[in-house]
Each structure stands twice: as C-alpha cells, then as structure tokens.
Amino acid sequence: MEESNEQIDQPPPTTVTVGGDIDIEYKWLEEQTVEVLHFLHRQNSEVSVRVVCDEEMSTLHIKHSGVEGTTDVLTFDHGSDEQSVRADLAVCFDVAMRESKNRNHSVQNELLLYIVHGILHCTGFDDHNEEDHKLMHQEEDRILKAIGVGVVWSHST
C-alpha cells in the first residue's frame, strides 16, 4: 500500500491519556481534553493526566512546589510551544469533589476545568496576580463554553 504525501506531511495526532485509581469517566475527560487542544490549535500535543486524592496531591505539592497541603492541579510542562502542549498534569479528585458541590456542577466538569487550567499554564497563561488570575479564568470559561461543556469557573464568582 502506497502512502500519500498528505499523510506524511501531517503532524502526529494529539495523544491524551487520563488515568488514576478513582472511579470516574476517564474516557470523557480524554475526549474533552482533545477537544480543548484542538480548539487551541495545539493538535500536535502529548498530555498525560493523573487523577489523584488529597494525600497524593499533598505529597506532590510539597515535593515539587515546596508548599504543604493539597491543591487542585499541578502542571509539569515538558517543552510546550506554539503548536503543541507537552505536559503531565496531576489533578485532585478530592478538591474537585468539594469545589463541584460549592459551584453546583459535576465533579467531571471541575476536573476538566483543572485540566484546562494546566494546559493554559503551558500556553503562557499565569494566575499569580489578580489581573492574570481573572484573564486565565475568563479563558477557561471561553474554552469550556466553546467545546460545549459550558462555563465552570464563573459559576463560583
């Protein structure tokens, strides 16, 4: 079978893996993450997400950030650029459970918000001051709305 030049010239497809030991819809999170990356025109991406509990996230948080306690997401960027995101993310199920109850939406949507947040860190967004924080969360909601999930962050503001 002969390969066409079209196939040879195409970048590798987006690869997203989401896993963990918690009973949730990993496949849905993978599919939505691919949609996010395509919406951001980062089709040539490799993103791995691990869903963890408070205890594991606290361990990762102190080890990699020097901060005690749990957090929603940790992002490990492995050389993202204008065309791709290359990253490992850890997202916390326990934080997502608490926040999804406060915001009155599904834990799946909250976890997806954390994944989008991590991806945005890899594309140049930051949230260390009030203005950047606001811009980042506006972008999260814009993306989630565009892919059909709807706004998640602004439900809490």
- The upper half-sphere exposure of residue 17, i.e. CA atoms within 13 Å in the direction of its Cβ, equals 8
How do 73-77 and 86-92 pair as beta strands? antiparallel
For 7, the token pair is 């196939």
For domain 11-156, the CATH superfamily is Metalloproteases ("zincins"), catalytic domain (3.40.390.30)
pLDDT tens, residue order, the chain (157 aa) = 444 444 555 556 789 999 999 999 999 999 999 999 999 999 899 999 999 999 999 999 999 999 999 999 999 999 999 999 999 999 999 999 999 999 899 999 999 999 999 999 999 999 889 999 999 999 999 999 999 999 988 754 4
Contact 21, 61 (CB under 8 A): no
pTM value is: 0.90
User: For the chain, what are the domain ranges?
Assistant: 11-156
The Cα 36–Cα 33 span in angstroms is 5
Q: DSSP per residue over 37-89, as a string?
A: HHHTT--S-EEEEEEE-HHHHHHHHHHHH---S--SEEEEESS--SS--EEEE
Burial level of 156, CB count in 10 A (0-12/13-18/19+)?
Answer: exposed
Residue type, 104: N
Closest listed residue to residue 136, CA positions, set 119, 149, 156, 111: 119
